[in-house]
Amino acid sequence: MSDIKKIKDEYLKKLNNNLDIESVNQIKTELFGKNGQISNSFKTLGSLPNDERKKFASDLNSIKDELQEKINSKLQEIEIKEINSKLENEKLDVTLPEREINQGKIHPVSQVIDEISSIFSEIGFSVEEGPDVESEHYNFTALNTPDNHPARDMHDTFYLDNKKEILLRTHTSPVQVRTMLNGKPPFKIIAPGRTYRSDSDQTHSPMFHQVEGLHIDTDINMGHLKGCLNHFIKSFFEVDKIKMRFRPSHFPFTEPSAEVDIGYELKDGKIVIGEGDKWLEILGCGMVHPNVLKNVNVNPDKYQGYAFGIGIDRLGMLKYGINDLRAFFETDYRWLNHFGFDPLDVPSNYRGLSR
Protein backbone atom coordinates (compact mmCIF):
# COMPACT_ATOMS: atom_id res chain seq x y z
CA MET A 1 0.00 0.00 0.00
CA SER A 2 2.63 2.48 1.00
CA ASP A 3 4.45 1.74 -2.27
CA ILE A 4 1.59 2.72 -4.42
CA LYS A 5 0.87 5.71 -2.23
CA LYS A 6 4.42 6.76 -2.81
CA ILE A 7 4.05 6.34 -6.54
CA LYS A 8 0.91 8.42 -6.43
CA ASP A 9 2.46 11.25 -4.44
CA GLU A 10 5.61 11.22 -6.52
CA TYR A 11 3.76 11.46 -9.81
CA LEU A 12 1.15 13.92 -8.66
CA LYS A 13 4.01 16.12 -7.68
CA LYS A 14 5.70 15.64 -11.04
CA LEU A 15 2.48 16.41 -12.82
CA ASN A 16 2.12 19.66 -10.97
CA ASN A 17 5.28 20.89 -12.61
CA ASN A 18 5.26 22.88 -15.79
CA LEU A 19 5.38 20.12 -18.38
CA ASP A 20 5.21 19.89 -22.13
CA ILE A 21 3.11 17.36 -23.91
CA GLU A 22 6.00 14.89 -24.38
CA SER A 23 6.86 14.83 -20.66
CA VAL A 24 3.23 14.11 -19.78
CA ASN A 25 3.18 11.27 -22.30
CA GLN A 26 6.44 10.03 -20.80
CA ILE A 27 4.82 9.99 -17.36
CA LYS A 28 1.82 8.24 -18.84
CA THR A 29 4.12 5.47 -20.14
CA GLU A 30 5.97 5.26 -16.85
CA LEU A 31 2.69 4.66 -15.04
CA PHE A 32 0.46 2.84 -17.42
CA GLY A 33 2.83 1.45 -20.07
CA LYS A 34 3.46 -2.23 -20.47
CA ASN A 35 5.98 -2.12 -17.68
CA GLY A 36 4.56 0.92 -16.06
CA GLN A 37 4.48 1.20 -12.29
CA ILE A 38 0.72 1.05 -12.00
CA SER A 39 0.48 -1.72 -14.60
CA ASN A 40 3.12 -3.64 -12.67
CA SER A 41 1.31 -3.13 -9.39
CA PHE A 42 -1.77 -4.67 -10.91
CA LYS A 43 0.36 -7.68 -11.84
CA THR A 44 1.22 -8.17 -8.14
CA LEU A 45 -2.47 -8.53 -7.30
CA GLY A 46 -2.48 -12.29 -7.92
CA SER A 47 0.27 -12.94 -5.40
CA LEU A 48 -1.54 -11.25 -2.57
CA PRO A 49 -3.58 -13.07 0.03
CA ASN A 50 -7.30 -12.89 -0.48
CA ASP A 51 -8.04 -10.59 2.43
CA GLU A 52 -5.41 -8.02 1.33
CA ARG A 53 -6.13 -8.35 -2.34
CA LYS A 54 -9.51 -6.79 -2.19
CA LYS A 55 -8.37 -3.72 -0.29
CA PHE A 56 -5.23 -3.31 -2.41
CA ALA A 57 -7.17 -3.63 -5.62
CA SER A 58 -9.57 -0.98 -4.46
CA ASP A 59 -6.77 1.40 -3.42
CA LEU A 60 -4.86 0.78 -6.62
CA ASN A 61 -7.91 1.46 -8.76
CA SER A 62 -8.63 4.72 -7.04
CA ILE A 63 -4.97 5.79 -7.37
CA LYS A 64 -5.04 4.80 -11.03
CA ASP A 65 -8.20 6.88 -11.58
CA GLU A 66 -6.74 9.80 -9.77
CA LEU A 67 -3.53 9.76 -11.77
CA GLN A 68 -5.29 9.25 -15.04
CA GLU A 69 -7.58 12.12 -14.37
CA LYS A 70 -4.64 14.28 -13.44
CA ILE A 71 -2.86 13.34 -16.66
CA ASN A 72 -5.94 14.07 -18.75
CA SER A 73 -6.51 17.42 -17.19
CA LYS A 74 -2.82 18.21 -17.57
CA LEU A 75 -3.00 17.30 -21.24
CA GLN A 76 -6.07 19.47 -21.71
CA GLU A 77 -4.42 22.31 -19.92
CA ILE A 78 -1.40 22.11 -22.17
CA GLU A 79 -3.58 21.93 -25.24
CA ILE A 80 -5.47 25.06 -24.28
CA LYS A 81 -2.24 26.78 -23.51
CA GLU A 82 -0.78 25.83 -26.84
CA ILE A 83 -3.88 27.00 -28.73
CA ASN A 84 -3.83 30.23 -26.80
CA SER A 85 -0.24 30.81 -27.58
CA LYS A 86 -0.84 29.97 -31.22
CA LEU A 87 -3.78 32.41 -31.39
CA GLU A 88 -1.63 34.98 -29.70
CA ASN A 89 0.76 34.67 -32.59
CA GLU A 90 -2.03 35.12 -35.13
CA LYS A 91 -3.01 38.50 -33.78
CA LEU A 92 -3.78 41.06 -36.50
CA ASP A 93 -3.71 44.82 -36.50
CA VAL A 94 -7.44 45.26 -36.60
CA THR A 95 -7.04 48.95 -37.07
CA LEU A 96 -5.89 48.35 -40.62
CA PRO A 97 -8.52 49.59 -43.06
CA GLU A 98 -11.29 47.29 -44.21
CA ARG A 99 -11.64 46.31 -47.85
CA GLU A 100 -12.71 49.08 -50.24
CA ILE A 101 -16.11 50.61 -49.57
CA ASN A 102 -17.97 52.08 -52.49
CA GLN A 103 -20.89 54.01 -51.15
CA GLY A 104 -23.30 55.17 -53.79
CA LYS A 105 -25.44 58.25 -53.41
CA ILE A 106 -28.81 59.52 -54.53
CA HIS A 107 -28.87 63.03 -55.99
CA PRO A 108 -30.65 65.65 -53.84
CA VAL A 109 -33.17 66.30 -56.62
CA SER A 110 -34.18 62.63 -56.66
CA GLN A 111 -34.36 62.52 -52.90
CA VAL A 112 -36.53 65.62 -52.77
CA ILE A 113 -38.83 64.21 -55.48
CA ASP A 114 -39.24 61.07 -53.39
CA GLU A 115 -39.93 63.14 -50.30
CA ILE A 116 -42.54 65.16 -52.16
CA SER A 117 -44.16 62.04 -53.59
CA SER A 118 -44.27 60.48 -50.15
CA ILE A 119 -45.98 63.50 -48.58
CA PHE A 120 -48.56 63.88 -51.33
CA SER A 121 -49.16 60.15 -51.43
CA GLU A 122 -50.44 60.29 -47.89
CA ILE A 123 -53.13 62.80 -48.80
CA GLY A 124 -54.23 60.92 -51.87
CA PHE A 125 -52.27 62.31 -54.80
CA SER A 126 -50.84 60.03 -57.44
CA VAL A 127 -47.89 60.73 -59.70
CA GLU A 128 -48.26 61.59 -63.38
CA GLU A 129 -45.59 62.41 -65.89
CA GLY A 130 -45.34 64.07 -69.26
CA PRO A 131 -42.80 64.51 -72.04
CA ASP A 132 -39.95 67.01 -71.82
CA VAL A 133 -40.51 68.01 -75.43
CA GLU A 134 -43.89 69.69 -75.71
CA SER A 135 -46.02 71.35 -78.29
CA GLU A 136 -46.59 75.05 -78.00
CA HIS A 137 -50.27 74.16 -77.63
CA TYR A 138 -49.90 72.05 -74.49
CA ASN A 139 -47.30 74.31 -72.94
CA PHE A 140 -49.09 77.61 -73.56
CA THR A 141 -52.29 77.79 -75.58
CA ALA A 142 -54.26 75.10 -73.74
CA LEU A 143 -53.15 76.77 -70.51
CA ASN A 144 -54.94 79.99 -71.44
CA THR A 145 -51.74 81.63 -72.64
CA PRO A 146 -52.46 82.50 -76.26
CA ASP A 147 -49.77 83.46 -78.69
CA ASN A 148 -50.11 87.20 -78.14
CA HIS A 149 -50.02 86.95 -74.35
CA PRO A 150 -47.17 88.88 -72.73
CA ALA A 151 -46.87 86.12 -70.11
CA ARG A 152 -45.11 84.12 -72.78
CA ASP A 153 -42.22 86.57 -72.53
CA MET A 154 -41.76 85.60 -68.90
CA HIS A 155 -40.87 82.10 -70.01
CA ASP A 156 -37.62 82.18 -71.93
CA THR A 157 -38.46 79.23 -74.07
CA PHE A 158 -36.14 76.82 -75.87
CA TYR A 159 -37.57 75.98 -79.27
CA LEU A 160 -36.87 72.93 -81.37
CA ASP A 161 -38.26 74.26 -84.63
CA ASN A 162 -38.25 77.58 -86.43
CA LYS A 163 -42.01 77.84 -86.38
CA LYS A 164 -41.89 77.77 -82.58
CA GLU A 165 -44.43 75.00 -82.41
CA ILE A 166 -42.21 72.47 -80.65
CA LEU A 167 -40.38 73.42 -77.49
CA LEU A 168 -38.89 72.19 -74.24
CA ARG A 169 -41.58 72.54 -71.63
CA THR A 170 -41.13 75.67 -69.57
CA HIS A 171 -43.13 74.28 -66.67
CA THR A 172 -44.77 71.02 -65.63
CA SER A 173 -48.24 72.46 -66.21
CA PRO A 174 -48.73 70.73 -69.58
CA VAL A 175 -49.02 67.51 -67.57
CA GLN A 176 -52.26 68.97 -66.18
CA VAL A 177 -53.57 69.28 -69.69
CA ARG A 178 -52.51 65.79 -70.71
CA THR A 179 -53.90 64.24 -67.54
CA MET A 180 -57.27 65.91 -67.84
CA LEU A 181 -57.58 65.18 -71.56
CA ASN A 182 -56.87 61.51 -70.94
CA GLY A 183 -59.17 60.97 -67.99
CA LYS A 184 -62.33 61.92 -66.22
CA PRO A 185 -62.63 64.03 -63.07
CA PRO A 186 -61.95 63.93 -60.20
CA PHE A 187 -58.22 64.48 -60.67
CA LYS A 188 -55.72 64.47 -57.86
CA ILE A 189 -52.19 64.33 -59.17
CA ILE A 190 -48.69 65.64 -58.78
CA ALA A 191 -46.29 65.75 -61.70
CA PRO A 192 -42.60 66.15 -60.92
CA GLY A 193 -40.11 66.57 -63.72
CA ARG A 194 -37.52 68.46 -65.68
CA THR A 195 -38.35 71.94 -66.99
CA TYR A 196 -36.39 74.29 -69.18
CA ARG A 197 -35.90 78.02 -69.63
CA SER A 198 -33.09 79.75 -71.42
CA ASP A 199 -31.79 81.60 -68.44
CA SER A 200 -28.56 81.07 -66.56
CA ASP A 201 -27.11 82.70 -63.47
CA GLN A 202 -26.64 81.80 -59.83
CA THR A 203 -30.36 81.39 -59.22
CA HIS A 204 -31.42 80.32 -62.71
CA SER A 205 -30.38 77.31 -64.60
CA PRO A 206 -31.45 76.42 -68.15
CA MET A 207 -32.81 73.17 -66.76
CA PHE A 208 -34.50 72.84 -63.41
CA HIS A 209 -37.21 70.76 -61.77
CA GLN A 210 -40.79 71.50 -60.89
CA VAL A 211 -43.60 69.61 -59.33
CA GLU A 212 -47.08 70.36 -60.52
CA GLY A 213 -50.11 69.68 -58.38
CA LEU A 214 -53.71 69.44 -59.53
CA HIS A 215 -56.84 68.67 -57.58
CA ILE A 216 -60.15 68.92 -59.42
CA ASP A 217 -63.48 67.84 -57.99
CA THR A 218 -66.92 69.33 -57.58
CA ASP A 219 -66.20 71.29 -54.42
CA ILE A 220 -62.50 72.04 -54.14
CA ASN A 221 -61.94 75.66 -53.12
CA MET A 222 -59.11 77.95 -52.09
CA GLY A 223 -59.35 76.71 -48.50
CA HIS A 224 -58.40 73.24 -49.68
CA LEU A 225 -55.51 74.74 -51.60
CA LYS A 226 -54.27 76.54 -48.51
CA GLY A 227 -54.67 73.43 -46.37
CA CYS A 228 -52.89 71.20 -48.85
CA LEU A 229 -49.89 73.50 -49.23
CA ASN A 230 -49.72 74.18 -45.53
CA HIS A 231 -49.61 70.45 -44.90
CA PHE A 232 -47.01 69.93 -47.56
CA ILE A 233 -44.66 72.68 -46.46
CA LYS A 234 -44.83 71.63 -42.81
CA SER A 235 -44.19 67.99 -43.65
CA PHE A 236 -41.45 68.77 -46.13
CA PHE A 237 -39.44 71.01 -43.85
CA GLU A 238 -40.19 68.71 -40.92
CA VAL A 239 -41.37 71.51 -38.66
CA ASP A 240 -44.51 71.77 -36.54
CA LYS A 241 -45.32 75.31 -37.41
CA ILE A 242 -44.79 77.26 -40.54
CA LYS A 243 -45.30 80.91 -41.30
CA MET A 244 -46.94 81.10 -44.67
CA ARG A 245 -48.28 83.99 -46.68
CA PHE A 246 -50.60 83.79 -49.69
CA ARG A 247 -50.25 86.79 -51.96
CA PRO A 248 -52.42 87.55 -54.97
CA SER A 249 -50.52 87.12 -58.20
CA HIS A 250 -51.19 86.26 -61.79
CA PHE A 251 -50.79 83.18 -63.90
CA PRO A 252 -52.80 82.84 -67.08
CA PHE A 253 -53.90 79.31 -66.19
CA THR A 254 -55.21 79.99 -62.69
CA GLU A 255 -57.72 82.51 -61.36
CA PRO A 256 -57.59 83.63 -58.64
CA SER A 257 -53.83 83.11 -58.50
CA ALA A 258 -51.46 83.31 -55.60
CA GLU A 259 -47.82 83.20 -54.78
CA VAL A 260 -46.83 81.67 -51.51
CA ASP A 261 -44.07 82.96 -49.27
CA ILE A 262 -42.71 81.23 -46.23
CA GLY A 263 -41.19 82.96 -43.25
CA TYR A 264 -37.51 82.47 -42.53
CA GLU A 265 -34.61 83.95 -40.70
CA LEU A 266 -30.88 83.78 -41.09
CA LYS A 267 -29.01 82.05 -38.31
CA ASP A 268 -25.24 81.81 -38.65
CA GLY A 269 -25.56 82.42 -42.35
CA LYS A 270 -28.03 79.57 -42.77
CA ILE A 271 -31.66 79.88 -43.64
CA VAL A 272 -34.00 78.67 -40.92
CA ILE A 273 -37.47 77.97 -42.25
CA GLY A 274 -40.61 78.67 -40.31
CA GLU A 275 -39.46 81.49 -38.10
CA GLY A 276 -38.34 85.05 -38.52
CA ASP A 277 -39.70 88.06 -40.31
CA LYS A 278 -38.26 87.59 -43.76
CA TRP A 279 -40.30 86.17 -46.60
CA LEU A 280 -39.20 83.80 -49.28
CA GLU A 281 -41.26 83.07 -52.34
CA ILE A 282 -41.49 79.34 -52.91
CA LEU A 283 -44.39 78.55 -55.17
CA GLY A 284 -47.20 79.71 -57.40
CA CYS A 285 -50.74 78.40 -57.30
CA GLY A 286 -54.37 79.17 -57.84
CA MET A 287 -57.77 77.93 -58.87
CA VAL A 288 -57.63 76.34 -62.32
CA HIS A 289 -58.96 78.87 -64.82
CA PRO A 290 -62.35 77.94 -66.32
CA ASN A 291 -60.82 78.46 -69.77
CA VAL A 292 -58.27 75.73 -69.05
CA LEU A 293 -61.01 73.36 -67.91
CA LYS A 294 -62.96 74.09 -71.09
CA ASN A 295 -59.85 73.42 -73.16
CA VAL A 296 -59.58 69.94 -71.68
CA ASN A 297 -63.30 69.15 -71.91
CA VAL A 298 -64.03 69.46 -68.21
CA ASN A 299 -67.23 71.34 -67.42
CA PRO A 300 -66.22 74.39 -65.34
CA ASP A 301 -69.76 74.80 -64.03
CA LYS A 302 -69.56 71.39 -62.44
CA TYR A 303 -65.90 70.97 -61.59
CA GLN A 304 -63.39 73.26 -60.00
CA GLY A 305 -60.14 72.95 -58.15
CA TYR A 306 -56.63 74.13 -57.66
CA ALA A 307 -53.23 73.73 -59.21
CA PHE A 308 -49.77 74.62 -57.98
CA GLY A 309 -46.22 74.56 -59.20
CA ILE A 310 -43.19 74.32 -56.95
CA GLY A 311 -39.51 74.52 -57.78
CA ILE A 312 -38.00 71.26 -56.61
CA ASP A 313 -34.37 72.34 -56.73
CA ARG A 314 -35.19 75.42 -54.70
CA LEU A 315 -36.96 73.34 -52.05
CA GLY A 316 -33.89 71.13 -51.86
CA MET A 317 -31.60 74.14 -51.56
CA LEU A 318 -33.65 75.53 -48.68
CA LYS A 319 -34.00 72.27 -46.82
CA TYR A 320 -30.45 71.08 -47.20
CA GLY A 321 -28.61 74.40 -47.19
CA ILE A 322 -27.34 74.35 -50.75
CA ASN A 323 -26.37 77.77 -52.04
CA ASP A 324 -25.77 77.48 -55.73
CA LEU A 325 -28.43 76.09 -58.03
CA ARG A 326 -26.01 75.47 -60.87
CA ALA A 327 -23.98 73.08 -58.73
CA PHE A 328 -26.92 70.66 -58.90
CA PHE A 329 -26.10 69.93 -62.51
CA GLU A 330 -22.32 70.19 -62.62
CA THR A 331 -21.52 66.63 -61.55
CA ASP A 332 -18.75 67.60 -59.19
CA TYR A 333 -17.81 64.30 -57.50
CA ARG A 334 -17.16 66.12 -54.23
CA TRP A 335 -20.56 67.84 -54.34
CA LEU A 336 -22.44 64.65 -55.20
CA ASN A 337 -20.73 62.89 -52.32
CA HIS A 338 -21.41 65.72 -49.92
CA PHE A 339 -25.04 66.46 -50.73
CA GLY A 340 -26.06 63.01 -51.96
CA PHE A 341 -28.19 60.63 -49.90
CA ASP A 342 -27.66 57.00 -49.01
CA PRO A 343 -29.76 54.83 -51.30
CA LEU A 344 -31.30 53.13 -48.29
CA ASP A 345 -32.74 56.43 -47.08
CA VAL A 346 -36.02 55.93 -48.88
CA PRO A 347 -38.59 58.50 -47.79
CA SER A 348 -41.87 56.82 -46.98
CA ASN A 349 -45.09 57.41 -45.10
CA TYR A 350 -44.45 55.00 -42.27
CA ARG A 351 -40.82 55.72 -41.56
CA GLY A 352 -40.97 59.40 -42.39
CA LEU A 353 -38.62 61.49 -44.46
CA SER A 354 -35.64 61.34 -42.17
CA ARG A 355 -33.92 58.80 -40.00
Partner 1 sequence: MKFTMSWLKEHLETKHKDNLIIDKLTDVGLEVESFENISSELDDFKVAKIINAEQHPNADRLSICDVDIGQQKIVKVVCGAPNAKKGLLTVYAGPGSVIPKNNMKLTVSKIRGVTSYGMLCSESELKLSDESEGITELKPSKYSDKIGKNFFKNNTEKIVDLSITPNRPDCLGVRGIARDLAAAGAGKLKSISHKNIKKDGSQNIKVSITKDKNQGCTIFGSCLIKGVINKESPKWLKEKIVSLGQKPISAIVDITNYVMLDLNRPLHAYDADKIDKEIIVRNSKKGETFEALDNKEYKLEDDMCVISDHSGVLGLGGVIGGTRSGTELKTKNILLESAYFIPRSIRKTSKLLNIDTDAKFRFERGIDPQSVETGLLKASQLISEICGGKISKFDIQKIKQYKNCEIKFNTSLFEKITGFKVKENEIIKILKDLGFEVSKKKLELNLKVPSWRPDISQPIDIVEEVVRIKGYENIQTIEPKKNRLKDTLNKQQKLFHFLQRSVASKGYLETVTWSFTDSKINNFFKENLKEVKIVNPISSDLDVLRNSIFSNLAFYLKKNLDRGFKDISLFEIGPIFKNNQPGDQLTVIGAIKSGKISRLNWNEKERSVDIFDVKKDLIQTLMEAGYDKQSFFIRDKSPTYYHPGKSGSVYLDKDDIDPVAYFGELHPNIVKKLDIKTEGVVGFEIYLDYLKDNKIKLKDQKSNFEYSDYQKSERDFAFVVDKNYKAQDLIEIISSIDKNLIRSIKIFDIYEGENIPDGKKSIALNVTIQSFEKTLDDSDLEKINKLIVTTVENESGAKIRS
CA distance 79 to 19: 11
Task: Compute the least distance from the CB of residue 78 to partner 1, in Å.
Answer: 34
Among 26, 194, 265, 276, binds partner 1 (CB under 8 A): 194
Task: Compute the least distance from the CB of residue 210 to partner 1, in Å.
Answer: 14
Residue 250 touches partner 1, criterion: CB under 8 A: yes
CA distance 56 to 40: 13
Among 37, 41, 117, 176, binds partner 1 (CB under 8 A): 117
- Restricted to residues 315-344, the positions that interact with partner 1 (CB under 8 A) are 328-334, 336-337, 340, 343-344
Q: HEC profile for 193-204?
A: EEEECCCCCCCC
* Binding piece for partner 1, criterion CB under 8 A, among 1-9, 36-44, 79-87, 162-170: 162-170
Burial 139-156, CB ≥16 within 10 A → b, else e: bbbbbbbeeeeeebeebe
Half-sphere exposure of 229 (CA within 13 A, CB side): 28
- Restricted to residues 195-234, the positions that interact with partner 1 (CB under 8 A) are 196, 198-200, 206-207, 221-224, 226-228, 230-231
Nearest-10 Cα torsion for 288, 292, 294, 299: -20
- Angstrom CA distances, 108 to 48, 85, 322, stand at 97, 53, 10
Q: Give whichever of 38 and 316 is closer to partner 1, judged by the CB atom.
A: 316
Among 76, 82, 84, 131, binds partner 1 (CB under 8 A): 131
Task: Compute the least distance from the CB of residue 346 to partner 1, in Å.
Answer: 7
* Binding piece for partner 1, criterion CB under 8 A, among 3-11, 19-27, 54-62, 95-103: 95-103
Task: Compute the least distance from the CB of residue 17 to partner 1, in Å.
Answer: 44
Task: Compute the least distance from the CB of residue 246 to partner 1, in Å.
Answer: 4
Among 30, 59, 217, 255, binds partner 1 (CB under 8 A): 255
Task: Compute the least distance from the CB of residue 36 to partner 1, in Å.
Answer: 47
Q: How far is CA 349 from the centre of its chain?
A: 14
Q: Give whichever of 37 and 235 is closer to partner 1, judged by the CB atom.
A: 235
Nearest-10 Cα torsion for 277, 278, 279, 280: -140
# of chain residues touching partner 1 (CB under 8 A): 87
Are 282 and 313 in contact by the 8 Å Cβ rule? The answer is no
- Restricted to residues 2-31, the positions that interact with partner 1 (CB under 8 A) are none
- Restricted to residues 288-307, the positions that interact with partner 1 (CB under 8 A) are 289-290, 304
Task: Tell me whether residue 9 is exposed, middle or buried, using C-beta atoms within 10 angstroms of its C-beta: 0 to 12, 13 to 18, 19 or more.
Answer: exposed
Task: Compute the least distance from the CB of residue 13 to partner 1, in Å.
Answer: 50
CA distance 273 to 329: 25
